[in-house]
């Protein structure tokens, strides 16, 4: 038979074992985790405000540390490539057509490839523009005026590449997408950010912007353009020069004169936009605008 002491000890061990199991259950429950370590909580609808704040704050703190006061923002198609690459694709299609010259599909691809060759000049101009912005500071470490892009390929890549050509730093604001978008390799590594929310990314595009340069592009480019036009029109953001590169391209897509004729925008709204054909004209337009408005970039 067990004596009283042995019974008491077994009872105590059993009770302690139950306590330990209960404690383990408690500390392994997500509710016990520190809030920042609880992924389910951080990713919940209720914590969206916190995520928005973090999405904004990370890039903001980094840019402050780098002394970035003003940005020159470049938008444009992610699909436009430099001339050599566009020509190589065109030649490949031409070779395929030699064996299948009745193929409607190939003729369609040929038309697109020819169009891309024509638009490749904008890659070169975006790269030149990046060089002009990069050369505007005192030295490569002078980040008071810094080039900023959406961080992707095409026109964005060309502009970042131009800044790197002259040893200047530049910024890339990438965004999480269903299909993974890699940053282009020419962005300054410590100034390449990835955002979860388009709204926060757009906020950073405008927060320090002293000019917006729009190269030919599609939905994303037009989205950014009209967002900023609306912000300036409604005086939610201060006026800045908006420079459209490639007047023929943009006039075929957007008929601002028609909007004025229809009285859905005012005549002076057209003054928000300037049209140029190359990088030097774009940079000169920006400098002249700030001179006339007495808002020096440096």
* pLDDT tens for the 298 residues of the chain, in order: 455 666 676 677 777 788 888 888 888 888 888 888 888 888 899 999 999 999 999 999 999 999 999 999 999 999 999 999 999 998 988 888 877 777 888 888 888 989 999 999 999 999 999 999 999 988 878 889 999 999 999 999 999 999 999 999 999 999 987 765 789 999 999 999 999 999 999 999 999 999 999 999 999 999 999 999 999 999 999 999 999 999 999 999 999 999 999 999 999 999 999 999 999 999 999 999 999 999 988 8
Instruction: Specify the residue for token string 């030699």.
Output: 98
**DSSP structure string for 4-28:** HHHHHHHHHHHHHHHHHHHHHHHHT
User: Residue 51: inside a domain, yes or no?
Assistant: no
Distances (CA, A) of 17 to 3, 6, 21, 22, 23: 21, 16, 6, 9, 10
DSSP letter (8 states) at residue 45: G
User: Residue 174: inside a domain, yes or no?
Assistant: yes
User: Residue 42: inside a domain, yes or no?
Assistant: no
In angstroms, the CA 201 to CA 160 distance is: 17
Determine phi and psi for 263, rounding to 5 degrees: 60, 30
Question: Rounded to two decimals, what is the model's pTM?
Answer: 0.87
pLDDT score for 223: 94
Question: Domain of 258: which CATH number?
Answer: 3.40.50.450
User: Residue 185: inside a domain, yes or no?
Assistant: yes
- The C-alpha angle 242, 244, 245, rounded to 5 degrees, equals 140
Beta strand pairing call for 145-149 and 170-175: parallel
User: Residue 20: inside a domain, yes or no?
Assistant: no
In angstroms, the CA 163 to CA 146 distance is: 9
CB 205 within 8 A of CB 187: no
Structural domains of the chain, count: 1
User: Residue 217: inside a domain, yes or no?
Assistant: yes
In angstroms, the CA 295 to CA 114 distance is: 42
**Containing structural domain, residue 138:** 64-80+121-292
User: Residue 72: inside a domain, yes or no?
Assistant: yes
In angstroms, the CA 153 to CA 185 distance is: 9
CB 238 within 8 A of CB 269: no
User: Residue 188: inside a domain, yes or no?
Assistant: yes
Edge-to-edge strand list for the sheet holding 273-276 = 192-195, 170-175, 145-149, 70-75, 209-214, 242-245, 273-276
């Amino acid at each position: 038979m067990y004596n009283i002491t042995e019974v008491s000890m077994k009872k105590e061990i059993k009770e302690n074992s139950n306590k330990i199991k209960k404690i383990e259950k408690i500390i392994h429950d997500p509710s016990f985790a520190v809030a920042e370590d609880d992924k389910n909580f951080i990713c919940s609808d209720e914590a969206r405000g916190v995520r928005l704040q973090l999405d904004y704050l990370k890039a903001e703190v980094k840019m402050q540390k780098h002394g970035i006061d003003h940005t020159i923002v470049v938008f444009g198609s992610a699909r436009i490539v430099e001339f050599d690459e566009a020509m190589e694709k065109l030649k490949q299609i031409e070779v395929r057509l030699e064996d299948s010259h009745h193929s409607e599909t190939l003729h369609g691809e040929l038309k697109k490839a020819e169009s891309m060759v024509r638009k490749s000049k904008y890659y070169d101009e975006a790269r030149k523009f990046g060089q002009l912005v990069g050369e505007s500071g005192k030295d490569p470490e002078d980040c008071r005026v810094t080039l900023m892009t959406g961080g992707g390929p095409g026109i964005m890549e060309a502009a970042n590449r131009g800044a790197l050509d002259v040893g200047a730093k530049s910024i890339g604001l990438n965004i999480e997408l269903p299909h993974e978008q890699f940053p282009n390799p020419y962005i300054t590594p410590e100034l390449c950010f990835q955002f979860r929310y388009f709204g926060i990314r757009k906020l950073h595009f405008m927060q320090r912007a002293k000019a917006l340069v729009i190269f030919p592009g599609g939905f994303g480019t037009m989205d950014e353009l009209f967002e900023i036009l609306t912000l300036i029109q409604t005086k939610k953001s201060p006026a800045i020069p908006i420079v459209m590169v490639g007047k023929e391209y943009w006039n075929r897509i957007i008929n601002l004169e028609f909007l004025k004729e229809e009285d859905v925008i005012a005549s002076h709204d057209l003054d928000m936009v300037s049209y140029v054909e190359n990088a030097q004209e774009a940079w000169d337009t920006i400098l002249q605008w700030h001179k006339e408005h007495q808002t020096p970039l440096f």
